[in-house]
Amino acid sequence: MKKLPLNVLYRLYKAEVGDTIDNTYVRLTGGWMTNDDRSVDNNGLLQIGPIYQFAFKDLSDGQYYQTSQAAKDVIVPDSFGYSVVRYKEPFSDPSNYPLSVNTCQYSTIAVSVAEYTEALEP
C-alpha cells in the first residue's frame, strides 16, 4: 500500500486503458460498482452508493495497484424543476489530499475469436 495525490488518481480515472500518466502510471482497467444492499427504508426506497474502482501499473516499482472511491450524490433540479440525484466525479476533490492505493494481482486471458464462435454454435 502507498498513497498518491488525488490529481494523479483523477487523471488515471479519466484515462483510457493503456494510457500512461506522468510517464509512470499505466491505466489498466476500471468500472462502476455498487453495494448489494437490497433493503429498503420506511418509504420503500433503496439506498445505493456507486463506487468507481480501477487498476493501474506503477512503472517505477513494477507493481500493480487498485483503488476505489464513492461518488458523492448531489440533489439538483432537472429542467422541469423536479429534484434528481446526480453524482460528483470520484477522485475530484480539489484538496488533492493523498489517497491510499493497494497492491493487487493483475492478469489477462487471451481468447481466440474462432474458439469463442465455436463455443456458441449448436
76 in helix, strand or coil?
strand
* pLDDT tens readout for residues 68-121: 999 999 999 999 999 999 999 999 988 889 999 999 998 888 777 665 555 555
* pLDDT tens readout for residues 36-60: 788 888 988 888 889 999 999 999 9
Determine the straight-line distance between the first and last CA of the chain, rounded to whole angstroms: 48
The three three-digit cell numbers of residue 117, written as one number:
464462435
- Neighbour-count burial of 25, counting CB atoms closer than 10 A to its CB (0-12 exposed, 13-18 middle, 19+ buried): buried
Give the count of domains, the chain.
1
For the segment 27-33, the average pLDDT, to the nearest whole number, is 96
Task: Give the global pTM.
Answer: 0.80
The CA–CA distances, whole Å, from 15 to 8, 91, 98, 108, 115 equal: 11, 13, 19, 19, 31
pLDDT at 122 over 80: no
Do 55 and 28 touch, CB atoms closer than 8 A? yes
pLDDT for 113? 67
31 in helix, strand or coil?
strand
Domain that holds residue 71: 2-120
